[in-house]
Chain A
């Protein structure tokens, strides 16, 4: 493997992501965990930019860093002080978490070692915005208007649910 600039950036981003992910699951403070998770998401956005998926990278930063993490922080600020810091965990939770982690790891490792990675054609071009728009809103084969609308209905249902919880009696 030749060590070009992109590889160095990739290794740097991966190290950042792995370190931040480990810190996120080992810290006992929920605000710190959220902040470490933010760096994992930044690293993912960086990977998308390396792959020239600029749209996906920008979506990653907008939706996750600017949306989800801000929501997490809001939620963490609204819950009580007693539940904010993780003090003790039951053995059942330990086993459940451990099983989930091991299963995920085994699945990922299995896929990495059995998958035939195709050679990437080298001058990777940036996907034009027009193509993304047509694919997302088109009705032909391999276009995504139906999933798009289904997700909209899901979001609507979430909003109705939130209003139901928040409304005054």
Chain B
């Protein structure tokens, strides 16, 4: 398997040979921050393009085709347009909170993004409570949305924010329960360790039925958590214009838009990491030649392949199902997903205790 920590260690030693240790650490922090932000933005651009093309395919259209070959430059043009737009201040709104809200949403999203293990040795934040930390950092994104809705001083924004708050707080439970099911199987919260323990088999095969149930619950709840798909009623265009970000222009809106797409990427990335083995190649116990061949495909290819597969699944759901009503959304979570998740956690614990896993 490719080990990328060789490269990072070499860079670290090179920097430490040039300057004092504290300065090198500081410089590395800045470098990593820049890398994370650039990756964040580039992936957002890829995802926006993918969303348009997938949406077009599901609606029997071609999608953007004019700007650049096969419409490849369309998103760059859109980003440029968004950057040069004016950011409007309103009278009688709370300007501090109005301007702070998009940053809270992006902060939560970037922190969660930097926990993802992209390859063997490329993990920005990796400590013993990794999965719990992901839940923690993703849980205050809803605060930014609620502040945005409130500080816009607009009824549509307010309704969108309240819907979003109720929905995200509810669906966090299901996400937590399905993650906990997998933690019971893996026996660790550290993300690199979770990936390493899938070396013989991915958890979705190891945990068979309960893991599959948890995967499906996670996909539904993750879709709701990102305010997408059939759960996009916080920004229901037909009734609330744009929900909580109605009053935002320029990059204020851009931040919400980018964070929404990157939250989709993060949800899919976590699904790929804890259910589908992250950067770990497909290994079948007993087939050594096959396993060795699979090891020649580098880790990032596996990680991004799995992640974009899950993203494609979620986009398929989004462009297939009609939007739910708010009472249906809450009923689905509290009366169906959460009880199923709780029972599923019990079944998984039973399987682990009795040794009924592969």
Contacts and interface: CB of A to CB of B under 8 A. Distances in A.
Given A58-B129, A73-B150, A38 B143 contact: yes
B169 interface: yes
Interface stretch (B55-63, B131-139, B297-305, B334-342): B131-139
Given A54-B127, A129-B129, A35 B147 contact: yes
Given A5-B25, A32-B96, A62-B136, A69 B143 contact: yes
Contacts of A58: 129, 132-133, 135-136
A92 to B, nearest CB: 30
A55 B142 CA distance: 22
A58 B136 CA distance: 6
Contacts of A61: 133, 136-137, 139-140
B26 A5 contact: yes
B188 interface: yes
A73 B139 contact: no
Contacts of B169: 70
A90 interface: no
- Chain B, interface size: which category? 20 to 34
Contacts of B100: 35
Given A126-B128, A129-B128, A129-B129, A77 B140 contact: no
Given A29-B94, A65-B143, A70 B25 contact: no
B151 A31 contact: yes
A67 interface: yes
Interface residues of A, number: 25
B220 interface: no
B150 A77 contact: yes
B146 interface: yes
Interface string A27-69: 0010110010010000000000000001101110110011101
B139 A62 contact: yes
B22 interface: yes
Interface string A76-103: 0100000000000000000000000000
Contacts of B96: 32, 35
Nearest to B133: A58
A57 B135 CA distance: 12
B165 interface: yes
Contact of A35 (B26, B97, B128, B172): B97
Contact of B139 (A4, A38, A67, A74): A67
B31 to A, nearest CB: 16
A5 B150 CA distance: 39
30 contacts: A5-B26, A29-B94, A31-B94, A31-B147, A31-B151, A35-B97, A54-B128, A54-B129, A55-B128, A55-B129, A58-B133, A58-B136, A59-B132, A61-B139, A62-B139, A65-B136, A65-B139, A65-B143, A66-B136, A66-B139, A66-B143, A70-B140, A70-B165, A73-B147, A73-B165, A74-B165, A77-B146, A128-B128, A129-B129, A129-B189
Given A73-B143, A129-B129, A129-B189, 12 more contacts: A5-B25, A35-B147, A38-B140, A55-B128, A58-B129, A62-B136, A66-B139, A66-B143, A66-B172, A73-B146, A74-B165, A126-B128
